[in-house]
Amino acid sequence: MPVPEVERTAEDIADMEIRGAASIAEAAADALEAQARASEAASPDAFRAEMRAAARRLRDTRPTAVSLPNALRYVLRELDGDSVEALRVSTIEAAASFRDQLERAQDDLGDIGANRLQDGDTVMTHCHSTDALACVRAALDDGKHIEAVVKETRPRKQGHITAKQLREWDVPVTVVVDNAARRYLDDCDHVLVGADSIAADGSVINKVGTSLLAVAARERGTPIMVAAQTLKLHPDTLTGHTVEIEMRDESEVMTDAERAEVGDVAVENPAFDVTPPRYVDAIVTERGQFPPESIVTLMRELYGEGTTEPWAET
Ligand code: RUB
């Protein structure tokens, strides 16, 4: 049985109290650390079994952001030792080094992304991405004036989180409904979004609506920049697997009262969509910026030809 902190984190991820691919990854690593600290396992085998069970519980919360299984793999891979105490220490160290890497990757990515932003530029955002915002932050730190058109991002309106963060940085913000995006693209110099997963062919999986925005931006000639640290590269796509798109509760789209009023309709609520590589100008990672079609080279270098599932029951 995972310790209560793992259970709490899993529930918070599933309920989107903790959300966004990087934050989900960090919370998962923290939860594995909590499991290790609280473990009363009587043997190294029992400790490892507990860690695998905790990782499975976390893994099963949301299916699309690959940062989650990548984070779990990172920590479980570092488990080392012949005693419970040694295993505990190695888990705690692995979680700390994961957090360091995450923070460093976002800073480095931000510096690279900021080079694409010129003084006086306006960016259009979709959803809320800490990787995307790191690019704006770094551009501001370079002394550039940046403005933003922030898409509301139905149904959960994560655009409000982006708007709040940008206002805290004194960035002038205009919030628009999603359907107004094309109208405002002419006023924007970049579309700047994050990613939950990036597939081997360079497809970008991000909050639903990203692909529609990318198609419109291509038509208007506005460059599309995806900010995604390498934790978002989906290694299973190297071996032909596809990325599962999470379907969320219908009530996020229509309340029960609205449905009663409208009548008997089917409601679908996909949380993410796939933007084909031809609509993306650059994927900005902490290792540099890449045309989407070449991201596979980096993916091979970092993740080899595939992955294991270290959380599997043995
Ligand atoms: C969040 C979302 C974000 C990515 C990247 O979706 O699509 O663009 O996760 O975020 P949700 P970050 O709100 O459903 O989790 O750059 O912070 O990892």
Domain boundary among 75, 108, 141: 108
Of 127, 231, 248, which is best to mutate to test ligand 1, by the most ligand atoms within 8 angstroms of its C-beta?
127
Can you give the residue range of the structural domain that contains 56? 4-108
CATH code, domain carrying 225: 3.40.50.10470
- Residue 152 half-sphere exposure toward CB, CA atoms < 13 A: 8
- What local confidence, expressed as pLDDT, does residue 134 receive? 98
Q: Which of 30, 108, 111, 127 is catalytic?
A: 127
Does residue 113 have its Cβ closer than 6 Å to ligand 1?
Answer: no
At residue 277, φ and ψ (nearest 5 deg) are -60, -30
State the sign of the Cα–Cα–Cα–Cα dihedral 86, 91, 96, 98. Answer: positive
CATH code, domain carrying 93: 1.20.120.420
Say yes or no: 296 and 170 in one domain: yes
Residue 310 counted as domain residue: no
Number of domains in the chain: 2
Residue 312 counted as domain residue: no
- What local confidence, expressed as pLDDT, does residue 12 receive? 98
Of 133, 150, 206, which is best to mutate to test ligand 1, by the most ligand atoms within 8 angstroms of its C-beta?
206
State which H helix or E strand residue 84 sits in. helix 84-114
Say yes or no: 80 and 156 in one domain: no
- What local confidence, expressed as pLDDT, does residue 314 receive? 80
Say yes or no: 11 and 143 in one domain: no
Give the Cα separation of 165 and 161 in Å (integer).
6
15 catalytically annotated: no
Say yes or no: 53 and 124 in one domain: no
Say yes or no: 241 and 290 in one domain: yes
Say yes or no: 134 and 229 in one domain: yes
Q: What does the pLDDT profile of the chain (314 residues) look like in tens digits?
A: 789 999 999 999 999 999 999 999 999 999 999 999 999 999 999 999 999 999 999 999 999 999 999 999 999 999 999 999 999 999 999 999 999 999 999 999 999 999 999 999 999 999 999 999 999 999 999 999 999 999 999 999 999 999 999 999 999 999 999 999 999 999 999 999 999 999 999 999 999 999 999 999 999 999 999 999 999 999 999 999 999 999 999 999 999 999 999 999 999 999 999 999 999 999 999 999 999 999 999 999 999 866 789 999 88
Domain boundary among 41, 76, 108: 108
Question: pTM here?
Answer: 0.97
Question: Could you tell me the distance, in angstroms and rounded to a whole number, from the CA of residue 116 to the centre of ligand 1?
Answer: 21
Query: What ligand 1 atom has the least distance to the C-alpha of 272?
Result: 7
Say yes or no: 75 and 102 in one domain: yes
Say yes or no: 73 and 221 in one domain: no
Domain boundary among 59, 81, 108: 108
Residue 314 counted as domain residue: no
Say yes or no: 221 and 244 in one domain: yes
